[in-house]
Chain A
Amino acid sequence: MVSVALILLFVLSCIVLRLISVIRRTRTRFSDARPTPPKTCSLAVFLGSGGHTSEALVLLSALDFSRYSPRKYIYSQGDILSAKKAVNLESLKAPECTSHPVHSTDATTPYTLVSIPRARRVHQSLFTTPVTAARSLITCLYHVTIAPLLSGHPFADVLVVNGPGTCCMLCLAVYVNRFFGFHSPKMIYVESFARVKTLSLSGKLLRPFVDRSPSCRFVVQWPELLNDGGRGECRGWLI
């Protein structure tokens, strides 16, 4: 338990110390780094269960899967329904994928499912939350930071999240990659359609980072959410 807390403390203090310099990098530096358009782009999406999963999969259904390949569906441990919905979307989109030539070397495995522990269960006591959150973060660090280093395959080129809480752990792991200068995905945070006048807790937590960082976008679906003058963008309903 103590060692877990120490690891977490170390990671957190690293992030706090370096975050300012990381988030102040300009957008252009990153776009300059990729002068030619890519043939394919690997995508990871977090399925936060219930309405979050439905919305995330509706967003994905709009994409050209031969372009965004391979795909990684991250779901909360035990949330079999989200995993099934992802498989269902894949089977619906399969005919479309095969009609285009697939350039990716991973064409044989166009998608994978990854489960991570929840940062906090519904109705869980606040006292035990740090423990579950730390366990969740360590799993995220494994998938986002450590496994890519060991295998040489980056986690993803872009990460799409729309809440709830556990997605913050994924984003934190992405920031660890940025801090150490490892390959890190671009991040797109899409606030839920359900949020009309107030941001969700994940939205409030991630907005200051996602919004000012290079290669990150903070997107809402109701313009009122931007009335506070904070940054972010709204292109109307995305779902």
Chain B
Amino acid sequence: MYAFVTVGSTRFDGLVQRALSDAVLDVLRAKGYSKIVVQCGNSEFDTKSYEWTGETWVRRGEEHIEVWRFKPSLQEEYEQADLVISHAGSGTIIDVLRLRKPLIVIPNSTLLDNHQEELASTLAQLRHLKASTISELPKAIESLEPSGFVPFPVFDGSRFREMLDEEMGFA
């Protein structure tokens, strides 16, 4: 199984460092995630146990654990992943939930205007995803029940289309 951790285009040292900690890696391995990829964006982490291969950092002795900064599109990773752990950016949340993938989000509490928390807790209440914190992440992974999620509604483009058509005199 494949666990993908992403911070998008942001910097979120706390999440990246936690995801690469023994506490999180151990629980992921125990849950059967043999492949673990961390997309770290502009975040900093301790590279001492990792080897730079020219494109990615690979964990010494465990080539299925790797870290990289950016790719033009993360869509392919979302599609392949069995679990996504992410910052609570709305773009990532929507992309992952539309694929009906289990998602754990960690709002970035260091942001000045912390609206990530708002969206994360609301969607968690609706049981579309699980919201957690950096310290609680291992526990969140441990207790994850993918069958407990409510499927996210499919995209309904008609609402915006009708609104604009109406406004522009097409309706």
Interface on A for B, CB 8 Å cutoff?
31, 34, 37-38, 41, 49-51, 53-55, 58-59, 61-64, 67-68, 81, 84, 157-158, 160, 186, 188, 190, 192-198, 200-201, 215, 217, 219, 222, 235-239
Contact = CB atoms under 8 A, between A and B. Distances in A.
A186 B94 contact: no
Interface string B112-151: 0101101100100000000000000000000000000000
Contact of A38 (B9, B90, B95, B168): B168
Nearest to A219: B163
Contacts of B167: 158, 186, 188, 215, 217
Contacts of B165: 67
B13 to A, nearest CB: 15
B113 A51 contact: no
Contact of B155 (A54, A58, A192, A200): A58
B160 A62 contact: yes
A5 B46 CA distance: 46
A53 B155 CA distance: 17
B9 A50 contact: yes
B54 interface: no
A193 B90 contact: yes
Given A196-B118, A198-B118, A54 B94 contact: yes
Interface in B62-120: 72, 89-92, 94-95, 113, 115-116, 118-119
A55 B113 contact: no
Contacts of B159: 62, 235-238
A157 B156 contact: no
B61 interface: no
A188 B119 CA distance: 23
A182 B9 CA distance: 39
B160 A41 contact: no
Contacts of A222: 122
B90 A51 contact: yes
Most B-side CB within 10 Å, residue of A50, A51, A58, A215: A51
Contacts of A160: 164
A194 B116 contact: yes
B118 A197 contact: yes
Contacts of B113: 200-201
B169 A61 contact: no
A194 B90 contact: yes
B168 A158 contact: yes
A160 B167 CA distance: 12
B119 A193 contact: yes
A236 to B, nearest CB: 6
Nearest to A157: B168
A201 B95 CA distance: 25
Contacts of B156: 237
Given A55-B91, A237-B156, 6 more contacts: A62-B159, A63-B160, A63-B164, A193-B94, A194-B90, A239-B94
